[in-house]
Amino acid sequence: MFDTVLVANRGEIAVRVVRTLRALGVRSVAVFSDADAGARHVREADTAVRIGPAPAAESYLCVERLLEAAARTGAQAVHPGYGFLAENAGFARACEAAGLVFIGPPAEAISLMGDKIRAKETVREAGVPVVPGGRDPDLAGAARELGAPVLLKPSAGGGGKGMRLVRDLDRLEEEIAAARREARASFGDDTLLVERWVDRPRHIEIQVLADGHGNVVHLGERECSLQRRHQKIIEEAPSVLLDEATRAAMGEAAVQAARSCGYRGAGTVEFIVPGGDPSSYYFMEMNTRLQVEHPVTELVTGLDLVEWQVRVAAGEPLPFGQDGITLTGHAVEARLCAEDPSRGFLPSGGTVLRLREPQGDGVRTDSGLSEGTEVGSLYDPMLSKVIAYGPDRPTALRRLRAALAETVTLGVQTNAGFLRRLLAHPAVVAGDLDTGLVEREVDGLVASGVPEEVYEAAAAVRLDALRPRGGGWTDPFSVPSGWRLGGEPKPVAFPLRAAGAEPVVHTPRGTHTVTGEEVTVVLDGVRHTFHRAGDWLGRDGDAWQVRDHDPVAASLGRAAHAGADSLTAPMPGTVTVVKVAVGDEVSAGQSLLVVEAMKMEHVITAPHAGTVTELDVTPGTAVAMDQVLAVIAPEEAGHDD
């Protein structure tokens, strides 16, 4: 066993790996960028090394700095977590060349399975069923032979980037050209493959574990069909779709896929499965790393996958065979992300002012958060994972919904409330899943409007702040009673504005109780309790930032830009591209700027034809949400009658 392991990652997965290393008695080394100097994974590791400035390319993706940190701290092995360099064959080779053990598969297996075309050819030769399809150079011919609909996919990438569903073959060439541009921009490789599209498919993956002594086992499946924009958001184990015979057959196919590339460590073989015929499963790809959703497998098998990654890397054989693996109960995981469902799931950010993460009977939270954490725009938006376990699926779902309702991350907008509503959707409860379900139902799952009790709670906080404190004489003019000289008392009213909503003037009409962390209001006989911190209020996983609204200042601001339109940042992030200058004439819909946050780009376009009269940013400028970026004066504003 190793004495010291460097964790080449950040956030919740780094905290997760450190936890297992501590249980094994292995010293852990964290690495951090300048942006993460005070992060939780840094505090929880035995030691930590700064590896560079905030951009990932200069820190977490810098192989030389990671290897130097390992050498300085006496690390014998490197755990890559997931993301960043976890599936980078060059990094695995660099570790080996530096005398370090890479806690993952051989570089050759990473390279082979990272190429979707080679991967399909390799597993097909091993007898694993694959989706019918074709590849470059005769991509168009293969697509026409398959018949619509078909799916275009980059050979070198994942995460849904560059994937295009083509239902009309008359647009095939146009779609191929667009897919190539996206693949080249995302992965530096525009090689494509085409596959037959399976309508209303289910995404089911098999966890495998292999040692260096020829032993390979599977640990059952995970259902990952609940996705948005090809990104998993809810995962569970086992799948309600599979019977024991299909589970065994898919498990054996996954084992053969792992053997075909000489795999070692923990990996995942992903399959696409027609919902109406689960016996017709097809290999999609193999993820040569630990998966985000690994906790659900841990809970139903009782195995610590990180522990077995470390033990296998240290040369230990697996002490169990396939017959020693049993699945007990049911587990479901939800990914908590810094994003705002009410604003089209744009990335959010800010400082975590109040944090409450559920734990307890059947509930586990894997998190990289702590109060005071600054959630910026440089890294992945996933903040934590909430996982629930029960003896059966209904119990696990019920516990996870309750756990998400208890989750509090005030100061940063998250998707917790959205996920809770998704888990209560009748199709999800029934297990009638497919990869398009979330997109079809998304409008009904996003909270609309701001409930009156939110404004009532915000007003209650302000009323409480105005009340006199302490004993002795009280100035009657300081009491918020609504009293007026020579007139009837007028109710106190507060101009308020919730983020993303129009301003309101709210007059409190209920009863209130305000404490340091909570505010309770009773409206029409119904009690509502909110967590509070600063301008933030939260309950049941949802959160609102409600600020004071100054109508005079707002009016002056509108007057300053009379006859013009201000373009604001839709999310906190960094301006990466500026295509115009002050004085430029622009047309409606013209691309003007690009703001990037958490691996997502948002193009800012001209709302109408006109002239750029203000431009407040340059490439590299960090911007806050709703910050003014530019002002476009309409064409007619510059002409006299």
**Mean predicted confidence (pLDDT) in 284-309:** 97
Question: Is the pLDDT reported for residue 267 higher than 90?
Answer: yes
> What pLDDT score was predicted for residue 63?
98
Beta pairing partners, 602: 595
**What three-state secondary structure class fits 594?**
strand
Q: Using CA atoms, how far apart are residues 176 and 180, in angstroms rounded to an integer?
A: 6
The whole-angstrom separation of Cα 159 and Cα 156 is 11
pLDDT tens, residue by residue, 190-223:
999 898 888 889 999 999 999 999 999 999 999 9
Residue 472 banded pLDDT, cuts 50, 70, 90: low
pLDDT category at 639 given cuts 50, 70, 90 is: very low
- Residue 237 makes CB contacts below 8 A (sequence gap 6+) with 220, 221, 222, 223, 296, 297, 299, 300, 327, 330, 331
Quote the radius of gyration of the chain (alpha carbons, Å). 27
Q: Are 15 and 367 in contact (CB under 8 A)?
A: yes
**Predicted local distance difference test score (pLDDT) of residue 638:** 41
User: What pLDDT, on the 0 to 100 scale, is given for residue 521?
Assistant: 97
More confident residue, 76 or 553: 76
Give the model confidence (pLDDT) of 20-42 as tens digits: 999 999 999 999 999 999 999 99
Exposure of 206 in the CB half-sphere (CA atoms within 13 A): 30
pLDDT value for 441: 96
Q: Is the pLDDT of residue 476 over 60?
A: no
Which of 5-9, 170-174, 184-188 is modeled with the greatest confidence? 5-9
The residue-averaged pLDDT of 590-615 equals 86
Structure-token match 């309750």, residue found: 402
What is the DSSP code (8-state) at residue 130?
A: B
Identify whether the C-beta of residue 130 lies closer than 8 Å to the C-beta of residue 286: no
In this structure, of 47-61, 226-240, 374-388, 612-626, the range with the lowest mean pLDDT score is 612-626
Of residues 589 and 322, the one with the higher pLDDT is 322
Tokens 């504003």 belong to residue:
637
Q: Which residue has the higher pLDDT, 242 or 275?
A: 242
Domains of the chain: 4-103 (3.40.50.20), 132-196 (3.30.1490.20), 201-445 (3.30.470.20), 452-467+493-549 (no CATH), 562-638 (2.40.50.100)
304 vs 21: CA distance, rounded Å: 11
Which pLDDT belongs to residue 183? Answer: 87
The candidate with the shortest Cα–Cα distance to 103, out of 366, 319, 306, 316, is 306
CA distance 501 to 626: 13
pLDDT tens digit string along 342-353? 988 989 999 999
Evaluate whether 461 touches 507 at the Cβ level (below 8 Å): no
Which of residues 465 and 387 earns the better pLDDT score?
387
**What amino acid is encoded at 529 in this protein?**
T
Measured distance CA(176)–CA(163) in Å, rounded: 10
β-sheet bridge partners, residue 596:
574, 601
At residue 421, does pLDDT exceed 80? yes
**Of 570 and 24, which is predicted with more confidence?**
24
User: Taking Cα atoms as reference points, which of 269, 258, 108, 147 lies closest to residue 203?
Assistant: 269
Q: What is the mean pLDDT of residues 499-523?
A: 93
Can you tell me the distance from the alpha carbon of 302 to that of 527, in angstroms, rounded to the nearest whole number?
Answer: 41
Residue 71: CA count within 13 A, CB half-sphere:
13
**CB burial string 287-322: b at 16+ within 10 A, e below:** bbbbbbbbbbbbbbbebbbbebbbbbbbeeebeeee
pLDDT in tens, 115-146: 988 999 999 999 999 988 888 888 999 999 99
Judged against a pLDDT cut of 70, whether residue 475 lies above it is answered with no
Q: Between 485 and 150, name the one with better pLDDT.
A: 150
Sheet with 542-548, side-by-side order of all strands: 504-506, 494-498, 542-548, 536-539, 526-533, 518-523, 511-514
In angstroms, how far is CA 61 from the centroid of its own chain? 19
- The answer to whether 212 and 315 are in contact (CB under 8 A) is yes
Q: At what angle do helices 89-97 and 107-114 cross, to 10 degrees?
A: 170
Q: Are 345 and 228 in contact (CB under 8 A)?
A: yes
DSSP, res 103: S
Average pLDDT, the chain: 91
β-strand partners of 221: 206
Give the full edge-to-edge strand order of the sheet including 192-196: 133-135, 192-196, 150-154, 164-166
Decide: 285 and 116 in contact? Cβ < 8 Å.
Answer: yes
Pairing of strands 350-351, 363-367: unpaired
The residue to which tokens 């109508």 are assigned: 551
- % of the chain with per-residue pLDDT over 90: 74
554, pLDDT greater than 80? no
Query: Which of 96, 97, 134 shows the shortest CA–CA distance to 117?
Result: 134
Report the pLDDT value the prediction gives residue 480, as an integer from 0 to 100: 58
pLDDT score at 641: 41
- Listed in sequence order, the residues at least 6 apart from 411 whose beta carbon sits closer than 8 Å to its beta carbon are 350, 351, 352, 353, 354, 533, 534, 536
DSSP state of 34: G
> pLDDT category, 458, cuts 50, 70, 90?
very high
pTM for this entry = 0.86
